[in-house]
Structure 1
Amino acid sequence: MSLSRRPHRPEGMILVTGASGTVGRPLVELLVSAGLKVRAVARNPSALPRSVEVVDRPVLEGVTGLFVNPRAVGDDIDGLLAEGKGVLKRVVVLSAVNVDDDLDMQPSRWRGDRNTEVERAVTASGLDWVALRPTTFAANAFGLWAEQIQHGDTVRGSYAEATWSPIHELDLAEVALHAFLDDGLLGTRPVLTGPESLTQREMVSAIGDAMGRELTYLEMAPEVARAALVGRGFPAGFAAGLLSLQARSVGVPALITNEVRRALGRPALTFARWASDNAYVFGRAA
Structure 2
Amino acid sequence: MTILVTGATGGVGRLVVEGLVRKEGRERVRALTRTPARASFPAGVEVAGGDLTEPESLVDALRGVERLYLFPVAATARRVVELAVDAGVKRIVVLSSGAVTGGLDTDHHLPVERAVEASGLEWTHVRPGEFMLNKLWLWGPSIRAERVVRDPHPDMAWLPVHERDIADVAVAALLGDGHAGAAYDLNGPEPISLRDQAAAIGDALGEEIRFERVTPREAREIYLAQGGFAAENADFLLGFEDYSGGAADPDAVEEFDLSAYGPFPTAEAVTGRPARTFAEWARDHAADFR
TM-score by length of 1: 0.84
Conserved 8 A contact 2:70-2:94: yes
Q: What secondary structure sits across from 1:125 in the alignment?
A: coil
Instruction: State whether residues 21 and 29 of structure 2, in contact with CA within 8 Å, keep that contact through their aligned partners in structure 1.
Output: yes
CA distance in 1, matches of 2:146, 2:217: 23
Q: 1:55 aligns with which of 41, 48, 56?
A: 48
Q: Say whether the 8 Å CA contact 2:3–2:30 is kept in structure 1.
A: yes
Aligned counterpart, 1:39: 30
1:98 alignment partner AA: A
Residues 153 and 42 (structure 1), Cα distance of their counterparts in 2 relative to 1, 3 Å cut: same
CA contact (8 A) 2:68 2:174 kept: no
Q: What is the root-mean-square deviation in Å for CA atoms of aligned residues?
A: 2.2
Is the CA contact (8 Å cut-off) linking 1:67 and 1:92 kept in structure 2?
yes
Question: CA offsets, 1:122-173, max 9 Å, x none?
Answer: 1222111000110111111111111111112221123112222111111111
* Matching residue within 183, 188, 191 for 2:182: 188
Q: Distance in 2 between matches of 1:24 and 1:185?
A: 19
Describe how 1:67-106 pairs up with structure 2 within 5 A: 67-70=69-72, 73-85=73-85, 87-99=88-100, 101-102=103-104
CA distance in 2, matches of 1:261, 1:248: 32
Deviations 1:199-238 (A, max 9, x none): 1111111000111111121111111111211111257673
Which residue is equivalent to 1:16?
A: 5
Contact 2:6 2:69 in 1 (8 A): yes
Q: Is the 8 A contact 1:201 1:216 kept in 2?
A: no
TM-score (norm 2): 0.83
Q: For each residue in 1:72-127, what CA deviation from the matched residue of structure 2 results, as whole angstroms up to 9, or x when unmatched?
A: x4422211211222511100000011125445xx9xx8xxxx31221221122211
Of 278, 281, 286, 1:279 maps to 286
Residues matched between the structures, number: 262
- Following TM superposition, by how much is the alpha carbon of 1:258 offset from its aligned partner in structure 2, in angstroms? 3.3
Contact kept? 2:225, 2:231, Cα under 8 Å:
no
Q: Which residue of 1 aligns with 2:66?
A: 64
Letter in 2 for 1:119: E
**Structure 1 residue 186: Cα displacement:** 1.3
Cα distance in 2 for partners of 1:266, 1:17 equals 26
Q: Distance in 1 between matches of 2:219 and 2:253?
A: 16
Query: Which of 1 and 2 has higher RCO (CA within 8 Å, sep 6+)?
Result: 1
Letter in 2 for 1:92: V
Distance in 1, Cα, partners of 2:183 & 2:116: 12
- 1:263 and 2:252 matched: no
Residues of 2 paired with 1:210 and 1:43: CA distance? 34
Matched AA of 1:84? A
Pick one of 10, 14, 21 that aligns with 1:25: 14
* Aligned-partner SS, 2:268: helix
SS at the partner of 1:132?
A: strand
Once superposed, which parts of structure 1, at least 4 consecutive aligned residues long, lie more than 4 Å away? 234-237, 245-249
Cα-to-partner distance string for 1:51-71 (whole Å, 9 max, x where unaligned): 11111213211100010111x
Identity over aligned pairs, percent:
39
Residue 124 of structure 2 aligns to a residue whose secondary structure is strand
Q: Which 5+ residue runs of structure 2 have no aligned equivalent?
A: 51-57, 243-249
Tell me the distance in 1 between the aligned counterparts of 2:41 and 2:127: 25
Unaligned residue ranges in structure 1 (runs of 5+): 1-11
Is contact 1:42-1:55 (8 Å) kept?
yes
Structure 1 residues 116 and 139: alpha-carbon distance in aligned structure 2, compared to 1, 3 A threshold: same
The alpha-carbon deviation at position 259 of structure 1 amounts to 3.8
SS in 2 for 1:146: helix
Q: Is the 8 A contact 1:163 1:249 kept in 2?
A: no
Tell me which moved more, 167-176 or 251-260.
251-260
- Cα distance in 2 for partners of 1:46, 1:182 equals 28
